[in-house]
Homo-oligomer: A and B are copies of this chain.
Amino acid sequence: MRRAARKRTTRQLEEVFKALQGDHTHPFAHEIYRRVHKKLRRISLATVYRNLHNLVEEGKIRTLLLDEQGARFDPETSQHDHFVCVRCGRVVDLFLRQARRIDLSPLAKQGYVVTTHNLTVHGTCQACVARRRTSKPQRPAARKA
């Protein structure tokens, strides 16, 4: 069943949105809840989820499904890709520009209507490469695509 469009602006919605502004860490819902909860002590996790979905539907933020850790949220709505460190879990925005050319017109010719596409790169980030020999993974290694 389709979620009805949001009709009112609430303090909860505003704080959820603000919690993501300028953020480049691609947090999970519970982290966003943690941040908003500092401002609005009575807010519930359910409300955070509902408002995250509202914002996604309005195109103000994006949902990222990058690994088995669950959904992350991204205030950056322009076209860009992501790097996920399989060791520490960090997600970095990638702006590959000329290094990336994906021509989806072959799909259009076959009758597909393309709405979005996304590229995710998995590997080890600089920091984790540096400490590779000495320490253990910071999180369960992703068993991945």
Known: A65-B65, A102-B102, A115-B124. 10 other contacts (CB 8 A): A2-B141, A65-B67, A65-B145, A68-B71, A112-B123, A114-B121, A114-B123, A117-B121, A118-B145, A119-B119
From residue 83 to 134 of chain A, which have CB atoms closer than 8 A to chain B? 83, 86, 94, 96, 99-107, 110-126, 129
| CB of A12 within 8 Å of the partner chain | no
- Complex Cα spacing A24 to B121, Å: 24
Number of interface residues of A (CB under 8 A): 49
The answer for the CA separation of A67 and B105 in the assembled complex, in Å, is 23
**Complex Cα spacing A46 to B63, Å:** 29
Query: Does A122 lie within 8 Å of B114, measured CB to CB?
Result: yes
**Contact status of A120 and B118, CB under 8 A, knowing A101-B101, A102-B99, A143-B56:** yes
